[in-house]
Structure 1
Amino acid sequence: MEITIREGGPDDVPAILGMLDSSVAWLVGQGRTEQWGTTPLSENSKTAESVVHYKDKGVTYIAEADRVPAATLTLTDAPGAYLAHLPPPGEPERYIHWLASDRRFRGHGVGSALLAHAAEETRRAGVSLLRVDCYAGADGKLVRYYEGNGFTRTDTYTFRNDWPGQVLARRL
């Protein structure tokens, strides 16, 4: 399977929302509903607004597997406002938002390819800090996934009083 990465645009928003929906369905099938719930994220207007907001603030990348959109992430200069209570890193950074994949491509390395691409783009910009945050509850698999891609745990946080989150960083 050939993986290529390209910049995403406004026309990719439906595909991105489809990847998020695929992730929700997969999580539900695994009995892991605490992360993103049970309802397709495309049905939540705030999710679509968030996807567009970060796309407009940064650069969205789409990983294609044999020319089919398979995974996405958006790279910006800062985390979301929901992390404003955490101390800033004190240096320029790039921040990953909305990493998701179409679960039909699970195990093919599309997410890892995007993370490697984000690291290279960050390095190319002369920035040495790449960060991301994620759900840190349940079995911790998502945190370990990022660790397996070169990230280390930094700050923990709680979103809306009951959603455990983890910020991770990668030095480049």
Structure 2
Amino acid sequence: MKIRQGTPDDIPAVLAMFDGAVAWLTARGRTGQWGSRPFTGDPRRTRQITSWAESGGMRIADIDATPAGCVVVGSAHDYVTPAAEPELYVQALVTDRRHAGRQVGRTLLDWAAQHARSLGVGLLRVDCYAGDDGRLVAYYESCGFTRAEPFTVGEWPGMLLHRRP
């Protein structure tokens, strides 16, 4: 697996990763995280991913020269409590379902922790959907994150987590 800088050329692949994740979640009755509609064709989602590609914080994990996952790091989202110290924030993480079980997400999160260390930052934070059975929160905990605080955005339940790189 090779991790590289994401570019605008990766936008279709990242949209497709989200489409696959949404379809997988929807098939399991789990529409609370990202809804049930594909990201492809949604102008708001395309603008969001384009901004990530242009921000310099998007990284792509390639397996056999094929995009298998994406992580975006940068500033914290405005809906979470600000950190009391310098941080690096995982703004987004998605993997291609075709590579399930290959530790793509975990590898990207480890890259983010290593990147934070290289910047001299001692705090890595992420937020995620905390509804349904809490499996996503448990996933981040299995990757070395600790629960910091729950929050809501409208009716969307979230959990803020942190990790010391």
RMSD, matched Cα: 1.2
Identity rate, percent? 45
For residue 156 of structure 2, the aligned residue among 121, 139, 163 is 163
Whole-Å Cα distance in 1 between the matches of residues 70 and 22 of structure 2? 15
Unaligned 5+ runs, structure 1: none
Q: Does 1:30 align with 2:33?
A: no
Structure 1 match to 2:59 = 61
Whole-Å Cα distance in 2 between the matches of residues 162 and 44 of structure 1? 22
Whether the aligned pair in 2 keeps the contact of 1:51 and 1:98 (CA below 8 Å) is no
Whole-Å Cα distance in 2 between the matches of residues 80 and 44 of structure 1? 21
The residue correspondences of 1:2-151 to structure 2 (distance < 5 A) are: 3-76=1-74, 78-83=75-80, 86=81, 88-151=82-145
**AA of the residue aligned to 2:164:** R
Whole-Å Cα distance in 2 between the matches of residues 30 and 55 of structure 1? 30
Whether the aligned pair in 1 keeps the contact of 2:70 and 2:95 (CA below 8 Å) is yes
Whether the aligned pair in 1 keeps the contact of 2:62 and 2:69 (CA below 8 Å) is yes
Where has structure 1 moved over 4 Å in runs of 4 or more? none
Whole-Å Cα distance in 2 between the matches of residues 99 and 28 of structure 1? 18
**AA of the residue aligned to 1:14:** P
**AA of the residue aligned to 1:142:** L
CA shift, 1:80, in A, is 1.7
Whole-Å Cα distance in 2 between the matches of residues 166 and 49 of structure 1? 25
Whether the aligned pair in 2 keeps the contact of 1:22 and 1:103 (CA below 8 Å) is yes
SS of the aligned residue for 2:19 comes to helix
Whether the aligned pair in 2 keeps the contact of 1:65 and 1:110 (CA below 8 Å) is no
**AA of the residue aligned to 2:124:** L
Whether the aligned pair in 2 keeps the contact of 1:59 and 1:75 (CA below 8 Å) is yes
TM-score, structure 2 as length reference: 0.95
CA shift, 1:43, in A, is 2.8
CA shift, 1:137, in A, is 0.2
Deviations 1:136-158 (A, max 9, x none): 00011100100000000112111
